[in-house]
Amino acid sequence: MAIPGLRLRLPPMPIAAERIRTSAGTALLAREATADDLTAVNDLHNRCSAQTLLSRYHAGRNRLTVAEWDRMVDPAQGRTLVLTDPTEVVGYANVLRTAPAGPAEVSLLLRDDWQGAGVGRAIGGHLIRVARRLGFTDLVAWTEPDNVRAIALLRGVGARPDGHEPGVICWALDLNRC
Ligand SMILES: CC(C)(COP(=O)(O)OP(=O)(O)OC[C@H]1O[C@@H](n2cnc3c(N)ncnc32)[C@H](O)[C@@H]1OP(=O)(O)O)[C@@H](O)C(=O)NCCC(=O)NCCS
């Protein structure tokens, strides 16, 4: 019997790098992240505002640990993509399993000066295609109630509110219905 939510073993196939364009036409490259990207990703964190980091982590975080990053780049967990401009990392996004038979969680972080230019919309669509290729059928994302960009992005792809915890809304997206 198929387990709803995802396959237990994710396919090990590589995800081809994708060119993402801002609304002004500037190109960014979204490529699969590796363990070696942690230093650049933590440098990205150093260059994000406290509000942006709070919106991503819903807590006062300003770096990722080696253990956290190792899990994010483990293909058995899903995929993490880094966005480069192309000389530096200006964002990262991931779709990662939550529990063995649960939905996958989608998260995005863009440096402040790249926000509001259509990158989130483009990388969100790409992440959904990646999630489908990996066999995920249900996605979740967490936002603060006043995160207008993330909420517009989620509503735009058909996600709906599916519960909340103090200060954060859970959004659910059924990939068979969008
Ligand atoms: C959330 C985030 C990924 C969105 O990416 P982005 O590139 O800034 O957003 P986009 O420019 O693609 O816009 C996304 C939507 O918000 C809308 N939007 C953009 N700026 C807006 C603003 N100031 N007010 C209202 N809506 C706005 C856009 O119109 C778009 O909706 P549409 O496609 O229906 O037109 C990015 O802002 C970010 O990294 N924020 C900090 C971390 C975070 O909030 N992560 C999400 C939780 S995991």
Q: What span, in angstroms and rounded, lies between the C-alpha atoms of 124 and 67?
A: 25
**Residue 2 Cα to ligand 1 middle (Å):** 35
| Percentage above 90 pLDDT, the chain | 87
Domain coordinates in residue numbering, the chain: 18-174
Say what the pLDDT of residue 58 is. 96
Alpha helix segments (H runs only) across 50-176: 50-57, 66-72, 119-134, 148-156
Q: Which residues pair with 83 in a beta bridge?
A: 30, 91
The model's pTM is 0.94
**Residue 74 Cα to ligand 1 middle (Å):** 27
Q: Which atom of ligand 1 is nearest to the CA of 115?
A: 8
Asked if residue 94 has its Cβ within 6 Å of ligand 1, the reply is: no
Say what the pLDDT of residue 3 is. 46
> Which class in CATH covers the domain with range 18-174?
alpha beta
The number of residues making up the chain comes to: 178
Q: Which atom of ligand 1 is nearest to the CA of 48?
A: 41
Rounded mean pLDDT of the chain?
Answer: 93
Element holding 109 (H helix, E strand): strand 104-110
Q: Which residues pair with 64 in a beta bridge?
A: none
> What pLDDT, in 10s, does the model give residues 3-59?
444 455 677 788 999 999 999 999 999 999 999 999 999 999 999 999 999 999 999
- Ligand 1, atom 10, lies closest to the CA of 118
Residue that is written with structure tokens 């975080």 in the block: 61
- The answer, yes or no, to whether residue 177 has pLDDT greater than 90, is no
> What pLDDT, in 10s, does the model give residues 61-75?
999 999 999 999 999
